[in-house]
Chains A and B, each alone.
Chain A
Amino acid sequence: MDLKCRGAEFNIDVAIVGAGHAGCEAALACSRLGLETVVFTVSVDSIALMPCNPNIGGSSKGHLVRELDALGGEMGKNIDKTFIQSKMLNTSKGPAVHSLRAQADKRDYSGSMRKVLESQEHLTIKQAEVCELLWEEIPVDSREGTYEKTVRGVRTQTGTVYHAKAVVLCTGVYLNSRCLTGESITYTGPNGLQAATHLSESLRNAGVELRRFKTGTPARMDGKTIDYSKMEEQKGDERIVPFSFSTDPETIQKDQVSCWLTHTNKNTHDIIRANLDRSPIYAGIIEGTGPRYCPSIEDKVVKFADKESHQVFIEPEGLYTDEVYVDGMSSSLPEDVQLAMYRTVPGLENCKIVRNAYAIEYDCINAKCLYPHLEFKKIKGLFAGGQFNGSSGYEEAAAQGFVAGVNAAMEILGKEFLVLKRSESYIGVLIDDLVTKDNREPYRMMTSRAEYRLLLRQDNADLRLRKYGHRVGLISDDVYEGVLTKQKQIEEETERLKGVMLGASSDVCRYLESLGSSPLGTATSLAQLLCRPELDYEKIAPLDPDRKPLPADVTEQVQIEIRYEGYIKRQEKQVREQERLEVKLIPENIGYDDVPSLRIEARQKLKEFRPVSVGQASRISGVSPADISVLLVYLEKINRSSERNG
């Protein structure tokens, strides 16, 4: 292909490269903020494609979707329209780890998102492979520091040039991708889609360092060939909770499909072990680093050799098809081994594989070259989000795509960047981890990564984040006012419950005993009663005649805030401590060689990561508290010197 061929030229505001889950959110955010936006995809039929698992959400990922929705993203609304089963996970555990997961009708999900993009003003969908990033060697000083280059736009394979003020890279797993099934290698993206083979070279020319990651997916089977009678049925929740804060729960109660649970056994594992030499990973053909949290079945059998059985979930790909997804058995073994292996599993004895399992390798970046607002540190106007940044998962991708898109818009509009803190969102944790830590595998969100997770509940994402959505212009005044009202109601009701005291009268005690709760010894506040595990806001209603009717989402918050107050207060205190370091910014042009007394390891790490704040520096492994103290003193010194010099 001749990249120099003459093509048309267009002037736009933002070019979004890729229309997966990251690209869609980025494109919608920019165009909704009034910027002329073009979203490029190798195939319009693959907009918001779900090339792996057929669900949205799950532990901590459900949090991401909720947060994205609170900020003004689309994913939550789209899954509410297209789910076929829904489940709140971890309901037997505390509210901080409740998390929604919904099975999607894949075609419906993709089609519905495409419709949203198509009907969005200022947004153009373009099927084209972006082959070249256009930039100029113009150093620019900005509030963040010095960029070496400035982005000018993109060129497609037909030679058409799109002059753009900002470019957002959301290339997912498509860059130089290759798929492996045993000895068979195809140079395609997922699902046989066209890979993007030119852009990597162009990015390298612009000074972007790329690395190779790998992930995998299990086989899809013909559901008609599966014997479900040998499996355990997994139903959805009776009462469905929507993802989006703007979805009315009443409108989404519907019949749901089931998933099915079965298990691998010794025969399965024997077949895998006997054929390990034919696995491209164990034979050393795959160079990319794979994720530890979603291991292939080969990995599970090798690394957890003492486990005799692994769970396998059969999940429908949608209502439109008989195809099912075999969750728990991703693989890159050859097709004949795959078939033999799957057929050892109860219920799959006669299964027919529609699509083989495969591993996929692709180019991505180490996100430490990005600012926390997801712009490249060296290239002004170039932003990145999604799997390209070294993450994995639809939800992680969408969250980053949204932030990258919003910040591309903020830069063009000259407004404050959207950088969410670790203490206020999982999205903040996700992005901070990506740009601060040395991630050696595709990054997946987990609740254990959030140190303040009692504050970051899926139930209060609106209270935490609507304000930011409103500030950037994606949440309307009305919606924002609604959140402020809710906040006020929660505070007032919490105070009231702390103030209302109950005497230990025989009526009260009798009622408590009828609920299996111990009688009162002394006067007790309603708030103290709410702390008893066997009681809740509704149950104490007869003891609280003065209460005013309040919306269910308000009383839910009141109950959680009261019951977990001790823990919440503790985490809030930790947040305030850390906050002092977060607000101390490090000038981009700091020369770490000029900072005396830093230990060598710390000096190297700081040079490598170039953190934007002392808080970020404190999270880099190899930087000790003493180094942070030294850094604080140094910053104060240069601060005072510059004040003195005027």
Chain B
Amino acid sequence: MSEVSSTTIAAISTALSESGIGIIRVSGPDAVSICSEILYDSKDNKVLSSMEAGNFRHCYVKSGEETIDECIVLLYRAPHSYTGEDTVELQCHGGVFLLKKVLALVIQMGAIMAAPGEFTRRAFLNGKMDLAQAEGVMDMISSRSESALRSSRDQMSGRVSAVIRDMRARILYETAYIESAIDDPEHFDLTGYEDHITDVVNGLKAETEKLIGSYASGRFVREGINTCIAGRPNSGKSSLLNLLTGQDRAIVSDIPGTTRDTIEEYVMLDDILLRLTDTAGIRNTDDPIESIGTKKALNAASGADLVLFMIDASEYLETDDMEIFSSVYEKKTIIILNKADKTLKIKPSDIYEHFRYSAGESIRNMTFEEFSDRYPCIIMCAADGHGQDELKREIKRLFYSGMVSSSSDIVITGLRHKELLCAAEVSLNNVLNAVSDGMETDIYTVDLMDAYKSLGLIIGEEIGDDLADEIFSKFCMGK
């Protein structure tokens, strides 16, 4: 058997659909040691150390104290796995977001993102596949890497690549300056350069961090705003759901089983993607006997980015409304006074007066304006669509203030991009550490070029002769 690699790779190996279960596969010499650090049983014992190859166990994925997901883990030992290497398979229960979170954790522990087709390539190189399959493997590698590159480009706005190009240019300039001073010490002086490079690197680091930070808001673009519709029975939740989903049936997920089983539905409002959770639950409450109580609202809202809180404005407020509010007020919440076609018994000012005493300290002292800004109140009629434009406006305001015209602002959306930015950040930190440890200037270039490389991978550029070209074009060398 040929030994292919010393690296351990990881990837989500099921299609990124909205189905509840997804598989993360980790393969390579360190697969077991990496996963061992994050998988625990209910008694907080590491599960992999006591597992035999070929077995599976139920366990929890933990990052430090935080439990991310629960999963079934399967352990394969080389050569008895798909790739022929040690392989750990995590069958996770969460949706797309949690899957990516688990993957990010595995990568943080030392695995690297698998290149397109890499599992299959390793399988082939390790003799796990038939000779006749070789061409298929080659085809798959090349077509998958093409499509990965395309989707990577699609995922990125022109602004992001412009920012990254600019950062790379600055890194390259400084590296070329140091290199020129090494190659031609009599022409270039590095006295006091430590302070200069510290400034430059701090600037680059701040930008990198900003981009990494934007990944969170990028998530809304990428995966949709996780939205929960809450409210007492008969407040009009299913009308709102029908209004939203009915607008554009084509965009509602076409995964089989959506209409009956899935707990998530996707809805596009202009350029906003809403991921509606627990829609099945809402539909079921069409039966007026079965009510969705406050406890259930709390559960549904716990993972939500946005709560659409329906209130039947043709009735007076009830204690249940206050209870629901007290369980969702920490979220971004839009209060919808529904049934505007009837006589309204509740005004926004009533909401302010009643709700601000039903929840935490923080809102008790809010003025009406502050409260309305934090909890926009919309008068609408879900049955005929009246008020939905205002709803869209408010959602945009809450989530995309400053980044609404998504092409003009900088948001990164790909996990791979985020990983590469994190790698660049580590390299930039190393430069700062080298400066503070009193390392010599030439050492800085090691990490500067690593950062340059990581950023280059984001926009699909290799290093090639960049450095030599930069040295010659920017700095006038000796002789």
The docked-state distance in angstroms from the alpha carbon of A534 to that of B437 is 11
The docked-state distance in angstroms from the alpha carbon of A148 to that of B439 is 53
The docked-state distance in angstroms from the alpha carbon of A533 to that of B439 is 8
The docked-state distance in angstroms from the alpha carbon of A293 to that of B176 is 13
Task: Return the CB mask of B267-304 against A: 1 if under 8 Å, else 0.
Answer: 00000000000000000000000000000000000000
Q: Which one of A246-254, A475-483, A594-602 is at the interface?
A: A594-602
B131 lies within 8 A of A640 (CB):
yes
Task: Return the CB mask of A86-118 against B: 1 if under 8 Å, else 0.
Answer: 000110111011000000000000000000000
Q: Which one of A411-419, A447-455, A507-515, A550-558 is at the interface?
A: A447-455
Task: Return the CB mask of A572-616 against B: 1 if under 8 Å, else 0.
Answer: 000011001000000000000001111100000000000000000
Interface assignment of A60: CB less than 8 Å from any CB of chain B: yes
Please give me the residue from chain B that is nearest to A621 by CB atom. B464
A447 lies within 8 A of B142 (CB):
no
The docked-state distance in angstroms from the alpha carbon of A598 to that of B443 is 38
Q: Of A304, A454, A630, A632, which is within 8 A of B446 by CB?
A: A454
Interface assignment of A282: CB less than 8 Å from any CB of chain B: no
The docked-state distance in angstroms from the alpha carbon of A209 to that of B478 is 32
The interface residues of chain B lying within 8 Å CB-to-CB of A97 are 182, 442
Interface assignment of B462: CB less than 8 Å from any CB of chain A: yes
Q: List 28 A-B contacts (CB under 8 A).
A: A93-B440, A97-B182, A292-B477, A293-B183, A293-B472, A294-B478, A327-B479, A328-B479, A446-B183, A447-B183, A447-B442, A448-B175, A448-B445, A448-B468, A567-B446, A597-B142, A621-B462, A626-B115, A626-B116, A626-B141, A629-B118, A629-B141, A629-B145, A632-B4, A633-B124, A633-B134, A636-B124, A637-B131
The interface residues of chain B lying within 8 Å CB-to-CB of A577 are 6-7
Min CB–CB distance B120 → chain A (angstroms): 9
B465 lies within 8 A of A437 (CB):
yes
The interface residues of chain B lying within 8 Å CB-to-CB of A629 are 115, 117-118, 121, 141, 145
Interface assignment of B317: CB less than 8 Å from any CB of chain A: no
The interface residues of chain B lying within 8 Å CB-to-CB of A576 are 6
The interface residues of chain A lying within 8 Å CB-to-CB of B476 are 295, 300, 303-304, 307, 310
Known A53-B479, A629-B117, A641-B131; further 9 A-B contacts with Cβ < 8 A: A59-B184, A96-B443, A294-B479, A446-B183, A447-B182, A577-B6, A597-B139, A624-B145, A632-B4
The interface of chain B, by Cβ under 8 A from chain A, is 2-7, 115-118, 121, 124-125, 127, 131, 134-135, 137-139, 141-143, 145-146, 175, 179, 182-187, 190, 437-443, 445-446, 462, 464-465, 467-468, 471-472, 476-479
Q: Of B179, B437, B440, which is within 8 A of A446 by CB?
A: B179
The interface residues of chain A lying within 8 Å CB-to-CB of B142 are 597-599, 626-627, 630
A625 lies within 8 A of B479 (CB):
no
Q: Which of A285-324 contact B (CB under 8 A)?
A: 292-295, 300, 303-304, 307, 310-311, 313
The interface residues of chain A lying within 8 Å CB-to-CB of B5 are 580
Min CB–CB distance B194 → chain A (angstroms): 12
Min CB–CB distance A157 → chain B (angstroms): 35
Interface assignment of A634: CB less than 8 Å from any CB of chain B: yes
For the complex of A and B, 5 pairs with smallest distance between CB atoms: A533-B438, A626-B145, A94-B440, A597-B142, A637-B134
The docked-state distance in angstroms from the alpha carbon of A598 to that of B118 is 16
Min CB–CB distance A639 → chain B (angstroms): 8
The interface of chain A, by Cβ under 8 A from chain B, is 53, 59-60, 89-90, 92-94, 96-97, 261, 292-295, 300, 303-304, 307, 310-311, 313, 327-328, 330, 437, 446-449, 454, 531-534, 564, 567, 570-571, 576-577, 580, 595-599, 621, 624-627, 629-630, 632-634, 636-637, 640-641, 644
The docked-state distance in angstroms from the alpha carbon of A300 to that of B5 is 48
Given A96-B442, A448-B468, A632-B121: A596 touches B135 (CB 8 Å cut-off): yes
The docked-state distance in angstroms from the alpha carbon of A621 to that of B468 is 14
The interface residues of chain A lying within 8 Å CB-to-CB of B145 are 624-626, 629
The docked-state distance in angstroms from the alpha carbon of A151 to that of B406 is 67
The interface residues of chain A lying within 8 Å CB-to-CB of B125 are 632-633, 636
Q: Of B141, B185, B437, B445, which is within 8 A of A59 by CB?
A: B185
The docked-state distance in angstroms from the alpha carbon of A481 to that of B3 is 34
Min CB–CB distance B134 → chain A (angstroms): 4
The interface residues of chain A lying within 8 Å CB-to-CB of B185 are 59, 89-90, 93
The docked-state distance in angstroms from the alpha carbon of A629 to that of B143 is 12
Given A597-B138, A641-B131: A448 touches B464 (CB 8 Å cut-off): no
B6 lies within 8 A of A292 (CB):
no
Min CB–CB distance A619 → chain B (angstroms): 9
The interface residues of chain B lying within 8 Å CB-to-CB of A533 are 437-439
Please give me the residue from chain A that is nearest to B445 by CB atom. A448
Please give me the residue from chain B that is nearest to A438 by CB atom. B465
The docked-state distance in angstroms from the alpha carbon of A293 to that of B440 is 24
The interface residues of chain A lying within 8 Å CB-to-CB of B6 are 576-577, 580
The interface residues of chain B lying within 8 Å CB-to-CB of A630 are 138, 141-142
The interface residues of chain A lying within 8 Å CB-to-CB of B442 are 90, 93-94, 96-97, 447
The docked-state distance in angstroms from the alpha carbon of A254 to that of B5 is 54
The docked-state distance in angstroms from the alpha carbon of A31 to that of B445 is 42
The interface residues of chain B lying within 8 Å CB-to-CB of A294 are 477-479
The interface residues of chain A lying within 8 Å CB-to-CB of B127 are 640
The interface residues of chain A lying within 8 Å CB-to-CB of B467 are 448
Please give me the residue from chain A that is nearest to B139 by CB atom. A597
The interface residues of chain B lying within 8 Å CB-to-CB of A621 are 462, 464-465
Please give me the residue from chain A that is nearest to B140 by CB atom. A597
A313 lies within 8 A of B477 (CB):
no
Given A446-B468, A448-B468, A580-B5: A634 touches B478 (CB 8 Å cut-off): no
Q: Of B175, B186, B190, which is within 8 A of A93 by CB?
A: B190
Min CB–CB distance B179 → chain A (angstroms): 4
The interface residues of chain B lying within 8 Å CB-to-CB of A261 are 186
Min CB–CB distance B443 → chain A (angstroms): 5
The docked-state distance in angstroms from the alpha carbon of A32 to that of B439 is 43
Min CB–CB distance A600 → chain B (angstroms): 11
B182 lies within 8 A of A636 (CB):
no
A633 lies within 8 A of B115 (CB):
no
The interface residues of chain A lying within 8 Å CB-to-CB of B3 are 580
Min CB–CB distance A534 → chain B (angstroms): 8
Most B-side CB within 10 Å, residue of A94, A295, A448, A454: A448
Please give me the residue from chain A that is nearest to B132 by CB atom. A637
The interface residues of chain A lying within 8 Å CB-to-CB of B468 are 446, 448-449
The docked-state distance in angstroms from the alpha carbon of A632 to that of B124 is 10
The docked-state distance in angstroms from the alpha carbon of A328 to that of B2 is 54
The interface residues of chain B lying within 8 Å CB-to-CB of A53 are 479
B141 lies within 8 A of A597 (CB):
yes
The docked-state distance in angstroms from the alpha carbon of A292 to that of B117 is 41
Min CB–CB distance A87 → chain B (angstroms): 10
B121 lies within 8 A of A446 (CB):
no
Please give me the residue from chain A that is nearest to B143 by CB atom. A597
The docked-state distance in angstroms from the alpha carbon of A485 to that of B370 is 78
The docked-state distance in angstroms from the alpha carbon of A89 to that of B190 is 13
Please give me the residue from chain B that is nearest to A577 by CB atom. B6
Min CB–CB distance B106 → chain A (angstroms): 20
The interface residues of chain A lying within 8 Å CB-to-CB of B182 are 59, 90, 93, 97, 447-448
The interface residues of chain B lying within 8 Å CB-to-CB of A307 are 476
The interface residues of chain B lying within 8 Å CB-to-CB of A293 are 183, 471-472, 477
The docked-state distance in angstroms from the alpha carbon of A536 to that of B124 is 52
The interface residues of chain B lying within 8 Å CB-to-CB of A89 are 185
Min CB–CB distance A642 → chain B (angstroms): 11
Please give me the residue from chain B that is nearest to A53 by CB atom. B479
The interface residues of chain B lying within 8 Å CB-to-CB of A90 are 182, 185, 442
The interface residues of chain B lying within 8 Å CB-to-CB of A599 are 142
The interface residues of chain B lying within 8 Å CB-to-CB of A303 are 476
A94 lies within 8 A of B443 (CB):
yes
The docked-state distance in angstroms from the alpha carbon of A307 to that of B462 is 32
Min CB–CB distance B114 → chain A (angstroms): 11
Min CB–CB distance A479 → chain B (angstroms): 30
The interface residues of chain A lying within 8 Å CB-to-CB of B472 are 292-293
The interface residues of chain B lying within 8 Å CB-to-CB of A300 are 476
The docked-state distance in angstroms from the alpha carbon of A90 to that of B4 is 40
